[in-house]
Amino acid sequence: MKFDKKLFLILFGDSMLFSGIIIAITVLWQLLELLAYGELRPSKVDTIIAILLGISLYINLKALFKLW
């Protein structure tokens, strides 16, 4: 199997963008919990919502960058 540098860079860039979005959502979510409750309350629902929001933001940001 031949190594495709262009494909690798595209996949690496996309994975870094997705990871950055998920990290930003997680940090903001935890800051809001600290402000609202004074403590962090981990929940499975929070994880599911963060993943869905992250996927949505990723898809929309990719579409926005293609328009530019």
Please give the model's pTM, rounded to 2 decimal places: 0.77
Kindly report, residue by residue over 11-48, the tens digit of the pLDDT: 898 899 889 999 999 899 999 999 999 998 888 888 88
Structure tokens at 5: 């540098």
Pairwise pLDDT comparison (51 vs 1), residue with the higher score: 51
**Predicted pLDDT of residue 68:** 67
Q: Between 68 and 31, where is the model more confident?
A: 31
The phi-psi region of residue 43 (left if phi > 0; otherwise alpha if psi is between -120 and 50; otherwise beta) is beta
Cα separation, 22 vs 50, in Å, equals 7
